[in-house]
Amino acid sequence: MKEPTVGDLIDARYVLRREIARGAMGIVFEASHAYTGRLVALKLLHAEHAGSEPLRQRLLREARALGSLRHRGIVEVYDAGIGRANEPFVAMEMLEGRALDGILAARRTLPIDDVIRIGLEVCESLAMIHGHGLVHRDIKPSNLFVALDASGHEICKLIDFGIASVPTTTSDGADLRKLTMHGELLGTPEYMAPEQLLGLPVDLRADIYAIGVTLYECLSGDVPFSGTYPQLLVRVQTTLPTPLLQLRGETPPALAELIERAVSKDPDDRFPSARALAAALTEAGELYRQLQPGYRRPTEAEEAGAAGATALLGLSRNPPQPDGSPSSGSEPAPTRRPTPVLATRTEVVVPLHRRRFPRSPYVTPVWILRATGGPLEGRSEDVSETGLLVITPGLCDDGERVRVRFALPGDGGLVTAIATVRWARSARDGRGAFGLEFLELPDGARDLIASYVGAVVGAG
């Protein structure tokens, strides 16, 4: 079986438009339905794995288990099956936005109100899946996607249920036990609870631990424990995380305390459910708001008016400097506005400063060819007529001139542009986040980008 590529027709109805993400086992494409034109995210297995019956069944059983879930904070599964070329596929809603790990790579830490909001939204989603007997087992920033919904509102969605622990049967009696095996070590070690690292059976409290690690990273820019698997195995059992108040002094004590409880070594010491953690986050958020200058309770109209505010994606937030560089010297921070959860402070919402060339979230693989040093493979985070925000395993230098190859929005065609590095930042895990300014683009590419960005920004 050949590797799926742009232009392929899957199951005689899904046309692959561009690659979005690539993992060890599978690839995700933006695809359009050949008859309705509806855009979906289509998950396929790599060609070398497409013949593996266990992986084929895992992909399809994951889709079956999630097919009954309907929640605004969980990526929706539309369709699944075996294509005419005998390839398994899952069709999911096509999200516009950025993964939380990309946001953290560029900013390292987030404002406290955004951290609380993310925690509450993830807890709401987890309460839903836990209520259906599922345990995600891989909560981490790369599996939390900050998306814009059809109304332009920002929502943190839970994605990638590839290693979820599921009920033994679905409502129609299908056996799902082989999705996970006894003793399998699945997950990302830095976010895994001690019992999960040890290969012991886990329950929903492993997800509580992973939420705690994620919130810890959002506040401090680092995870509680890092290192090789053997090092982590020792550290999570024998040492305590550095207190958040030492790493970020303005962290509200109540928020620091609940995160430290969530990452307790003993599952019995953690919150017993996502709803219990959400209640603690709500209380910590209220205490935090009451300490802000000019605090007052909002009217119902003010709360409703804040519902559409965006915070993390930062669409067209800050104007560039006269030389075109970001205003902060790193990834531009968004103009602060009330958020749906923490909209109780007295704030003057000023008109947004528009960039000369607006940007919008856009995730696709990129390949960077440098004059010196090896090539870099990574992904874009957003795009504008003037450049890309890129995350890669390494870091380019400020002012470095590079060639960048990526798929254009719209037709998914691969293009190569000449660009210069306008700013660069090193991320926690050795990755680099940097802004590229286009110096040369192929004919027509700028118009395609402008059309895509205009549609996304206009919808928001």
- Per-residue pLDDT band at 104 (split at 50, 70, 90): very high
Residue 204: phi, psi to the nearest 5?
Answer: -60, -20
Contact predicate 425/331, CB 8 Å: yes
pLDDT at 417: 96
pLDDT at 319: 33
Mean pLDDT along residues 445-457: 85
- Per-residue pLDDT band at 346 (split at 50, 70, 90): very low
Strand partners, 379: 365, 391
Lowest-pLDDT range of 37-41, 66-70, 415-419: 66-70
CA distances from 59 to 12, 91, 152, 199, 377 (A): 20, 11, 31, 22, 26
Q: Is the pLDDT of residue 331 over 50?
A: no
CA gap 378, 35 in Å, rounded: 33
**Residue 142, C-beta contacts closer than 8 angstroms, at least 6 positions apart:** 99, 100, 101
pLDDT at 300: 63
Mean pLDDT along residues 81-101: 89
pTM of full prediction above 0.85? no
pLDDT at 128: 93
Report the catalytic residues: 138
User: Token pair for residue 221?
Assistant: 């820019």
Q: Count Cα neighbours of 59 within 13 Å in the Cβ-side half-sphere.
A: 26
CA gap 288, 254 in Å, rounded: 9
Q: Who has greater pLDDT, 338 or 12?
A: 12
Strand partners, 370: 402
Contact predicate 27/4, CB 8 Å: yes
Token pair 């192929």 is at which residue? 442
CA gap 251, 75 in Å, rounded: 31
Specify the amino acid at residue 397: D
Mean pLDDT along residues 179-205: 78
Q: What percent of the chain has pLDDT over 90?
A: 49
- Per-residue pLDDT band at 332 (split at 50, 70, 90): very low
Q: Is the pLDDT of residue 28 over 50?
A: yes
Handedness of CA 372, 376, 380, 385 (dihedral sign): positive
- Per-residue pLDDT band at 335 (split at 50, 70, 90): very low
pLDDT at 298: 64
CA gap 374, 372 in Å, rounded: 7
Q: Is 400 helix (H, G, I), strand (E, B) or coil?
A: coil
User: Token pair for residue 236?
Assistant: 């999570």
Q: In degrees, to the nearest 5, what angle opens at C-alpha 157 toward C-alphas 173 and 52?
A: 50
Lowest-pLDDT range of 132-146, 156-170, 281-295: 156-170
All domains of the chain, ordered by start, with CATH?
9-93 (3.30.200.20), 97-169+186-290 (1.10.510.10), 359-459 (2.40.10.220)
Kind and range of the H or E element at 270? none
pLDDT at 129: 93
